[in-house]
Each structure stands twice: as structure tokens, then as C-alpha cells.
Amino acid sequence: MPRAPKGAPTLVPAAAVLERLLRHYPTPDTELAYRNAFELLIATVLSAQSTDRRVNETTPALFALYPDARALAVADPADVEPIIHATGFFRVKSRAIVTLSQRLVAEHGGDVPATMDTLTTLPGVGRKTANVVLGHALGVPGLPVDRHVLRVTERIGLTFETTPEGVERDLCAALPASDWTRMSDALILHGRRICRPRPLCGECFVADVCRYPFKTGGIAPLDLGAPPTGRPAGRARPPSRNAPGSQRSDKAPRPTIGNAIKRTTTNPQAGSSRRSGNAAKADSSRRSGNAAKAEGRRTKAVKK
């Protein structure tokens, strides 16, 4: 575990963050649809580089044809590819879930094993996927760490770790095992809805203990009572010429109607020339605009 940087604030208590999250997500859960451990395992593998919504739209057709490990184990990956195409990387994923099912049948009688060590030996199954299945479908405490959990925990100040394994270790040490899975689910929901890559800090209900404003605003790390800093101030505007104490340069005389008349009467041809030039430019601009409109109408007519 890396040590806290010198002068860094103490970590925010995980229990305090979970208590605030549960006020707004009373029953946090995975958003993947499943009926048993096998379906959740396959759905989680398919969710890599995809979204839960897209996976939930795909799995009903998949499980209608291949309802369990034994059925999927004898499938041709080429037949599975078009079914899971929408989840992305469909060729790799089709081979992974067929091979995974074959291993489940050959080594575990078609059942999903209930230990981290055994699950992570299966094709396409890492710690995150194993923790999802253990915590949600098998009743074994697990704390999945995905990109949302990584982002939110670092922002709030729950850990100094930057790897999934390190974050999992810190959170598990800070919470009882019974809270591991719902802490992960709540952090994921918070990361999707509020603490996005561009966070909605004004709507956040963890803001009173979050370290993020102090990282971005330059406030002393432990000064939790300090007001938010807001955006950096822009450039100072020059003082108004009418402001008290302001002085006008003698080299720039104040424009007056008399000066304008004087310039016109001194050189009447210059004024006439400028007016003629402006009129010519305006007429040319109108002709160009009309030509462009006519061309546009012809183009539309051809397309129709």
C-alpha cells in the first residue's frame, strides 16, 4: 500500500461516505439483469467495453437459446457472434463465453464455483467479474472495482491507491464484509449519475466530506469549513473612462460632431469615395448571397 503523500489529508471515512450514499441509493444493486449465477457470469463478461443497458438488451436472446453452461458449451462461436454483436468485440467474447462454459462443465459439473481463486482461473474472468458474481449471485462478500469506483474513490479521498487491487484492499479494510458489495454498487451508481468524468458537484450529497473541491480549488487540505472557491477570476477589466480619477491622453482628442463636420468639409471627396466604396461592397455582398441561395435551391431540387 503506498504511503500518503507528505502533507496530504487523512482519508475520508468510508463508513461516512456509505451512509450518505445509502440515503439516495437505499438498495444499490448491479444493473445487469440475471436469474442465476451462470447468467450473471456471462453477462458480466459481455459487459467489458460495453454498457449494462446494451448487455441487458442482448442476453435474453442468448439465454433463450443457451440457458445454461451445458447448452453454451456445445455451441459454435460463429453462431453466438451475431447474437452478442451489439456488445462489441463479439468474436473474442463469443469464444470466451463458449470456452468458459466448457470449463464449467468439465471441471465444475456446469455450476459456477463460489471462490475467488477458482473463478479467476476461468477464461475472461478477472477479480472484478469474480467479485460481481460472488457478491450478487453467490452470497459471498466481494467488492468489485470498475472505472467508476476508481474515479469516485480517488476524488472523494477514500484511498491513495490507483489500481483496482489497491482500492479493493483499502475499502475492504475500512468496511465490514457485509458492506463490501453495496459500497461498490453505490459508488458505481454515484459515478454514473453524479460523479461523472465532469462531476455534477452542485448536486452531490457527499460534498460535505469530499476532498475534490480542495484538490481543485487550492484550499488547505484539512480546511473542511472553507467556502468553495469557484472558478478562477478572469483578467481585470480596464477602468472606465468615466470613472473618477481616470485621465484621457492629450494625444487622443475627444471625438465631437464638430470634428466630424470639419473632416468632411476639409476633404469632401474622401467622404464621397468612402460612401461609394461601401455601397459597392454592399451590392457585391447582396449579389453573392443571392447567387448562393439560388445554388442551394438547385442543389435541393437535384437531390429530390
Q: Which residues are annotated as catalytic?
A: 128, 146
Name the binding residues: 195, 201, 204, 210
C-alpha cell at 217: 480549488
CA-closest candidate to residue 113, choices 146, 94, 141, 137: 137
C-alpha cell at 246: 481616470
In this structure, what are the phi and psi dihedrals at residue 114, rounded to the nearest 5 degrees? -110, 30
Name the binding residues for [4Fe-4S] cluster: 195, 201, 204, 210
C-alpha–C-alpha distance, residues 130 and 214, integer Å = 35
How far apart, in Å, are the Cα atoms of 160 and each of 10, 27, 171, 206, 233? 10, 28, 11, 18, 30
C-alpha–C-alpha distance, residues 62 and 108, integer Å = 22
C-alpha cell at 284: 457585391
C-alpha cell at 47: 459487459
- Give how far the C-alpha of residue 158 lies from the chain's centroid of Cα atoms, to the nearest Å: 19
The residue behind cell 450518505 is 20
C-alpha cell at 218: 487550492
C-alpha–C-alpha distance, residues 196 and 215, integer Å = 16
In this structure, what are the phi and psi dihedrals at residue 77, rounded to the nearest 5 degrees? -55, -30
